[in-house]
Structure 1
Amino acid sequence: MTENPRDRDFEGRARNARPRDGLGRPLPYGTPGVERQPEGVVRTPGETLREAQRLLDAGMPFHAHEVFEDAWKSGPGEEEALWRGMAQLAVGLTHAARGNTTGGARLLLRGAERISGYEAPYGIDVRGLTSWARELAERIADAPVDTAVDAAVEAPRLTASDRS
């Protein structure tokens, strides 16, 4: 019997164990990569925002998206759209940083739309984030294909207190 070359977790689900860069792109096996974000971590909303902001500031929006994904999967159902929208903002920035301006702009706008119905849950600066996402989407939509942005430079402030 031949061994299955696919990486599997302890429950047999397919997992890619290849190292990844700061934007989540797979690197060749044996290449040093960025520490992967653990999956399925249950955090308070405040912990989610602090960890995601840390990752965004470090230029790692793909990893921030995984933190938001944990929040939408583990949080109350009525907050799913909020956390999913936040994840879409992070993935939009990821695509923009990878040079996928079309996909980045679409996800930024989709994320902004998804969170726009919220006031300011957990101190999230919804107005500031939607403005940031729309401005960045407009800017990158007009950029030549394969023009990447610097994820750390473009990182949004998630809460009003992060703006000080």
Structure 2
Amino acid sequence: MGRPLPHGVPGVPRQPEGIVRSPDQTLLEAQRLLDDGMPFHAHEVLEDAWKTAPEASRALWKGLAQLAVGVTHAARGNTTGAVSLLRRGADHIEPYRGEPAHGVDITGLLRWARGHAAALEAGADQLPAPHLRGDG
């Protein structure tokens, strides 16, 4: 469930870092990981894109990575962190609303992030995975 493990307990290996993927490959891999309940791993994939993206799209990838970390915090029971990252991620992706940014459903993600941030603040304890391209 994304909870930290005690020291010495085997866990799921981290994603390899520094892999350069196309935007399409990044989104497909990140969505697969989100759907498989591995939001921190999805964050790592999105973070690779953020670190290597051209300046014009860096905030998009940063925001998507922050949304994935928000899901991670929610799974770990850190509501304050989840709400903060969901809102911060939404703020980073909002400027891309009018652009077809690699097929990312900006409007849907904004609705998802802000709606779930409010629901978490109101006491919800479930946070479904986002659909990066709005196809789910």
**Which position in structure 1 is the counterpart of 2:12?**
34
**CA distance in structure 2 between the aligned counterparts of 1:27 and 1:111, rounded to whole angstroms:** 29
**Which position in structure 1 is the counterpart of 2:30?**
52
Structure 2: runs of 5 or more not aligned: none
Q: Report the alpha carbon displacement of residue 27 of structure 1 after superposing the two structures with TM.
A: 4.0
Give the secondary structure class of the aligned counterpart of 1:48. Answer: helix
1:37–1:63 contact (8 Å) kept in structure 2: yes
Higher helix proportion: 2
**Runs of 4+ with deviation above 6 angstroms:** none
Aligned residue runs from structure 1 range 103-118, under 5 A: 103-118=81-96
Structure with greater Cα Rg: 1
Aligned-pair RMSD on alpha carbons?
A: 1.6
**Which position in structure 2 is the counterpart of 1:76?**
54
Q: Report the alpha carbon displacement of residue 127 of structure 1 after superposing the two structures with TM.
A: 0.3
Please give the per-residue CA displacement for 1:33-84, whole angstroms capped at 9, x wherever unaligned: 1121000010000000000000000111111111110001011111110000
Give the secondary structure class of the aligned counterpart of 1:159. Answer: coil
Q: Report the alpha carbon displacement of residue 98 of structure 1 after superposing the two structures with TM.
A: 0.7
Structure with bigger RCO (C-alpha 8 Å, 6+ apart)? 2
Aligned residue runs from structure 1 range 12-161, under 5 A: 23=2, 25-29=4-8, 31-118=9-96, 119-143=99-123, 148-149=125-126, 154-160=128-134
Structure 2 counterpart of 1:158, one-letter code: L
**CA distance in structure 2 between the aligned counterparts of 1:40 and 1:148, rounded to whole angstroms:** 33
Give the secondary structure class of the aligned counterpart of 2:66. Answer: helix
Structure 2 counterpart of 1:140, one-letter code: L
2:3–2:76 contact (8 Å) kept in structure 1: no
Aligned residue runs from structure 1 range 1-16, under 5 A: none
**TM-score computed with the length of structure 1 as normaliser:** 0.76
1:51–1:67 contact (8 Å) kept in structure 2: yes
Q: Report the alpha carbon displacement of residue 97 of structure 1 after superposing the two structures with TM.
A: 1.0
**CA distance in structure 1 between the aligned counterparts of 2:6 and 2:50, rounded to whole angstroms:** 28
**Which position in structure 2 is the counterpart of 1:4?**
none
**TM-score computed with the length of structure 2 as normaliser:** 0.91
Provide the identity percentage.
Answer: 56
**CA distance in structure 2 between the aligned counterparts of 1:35 and 1:126, rounded to whole angstroms:** 30
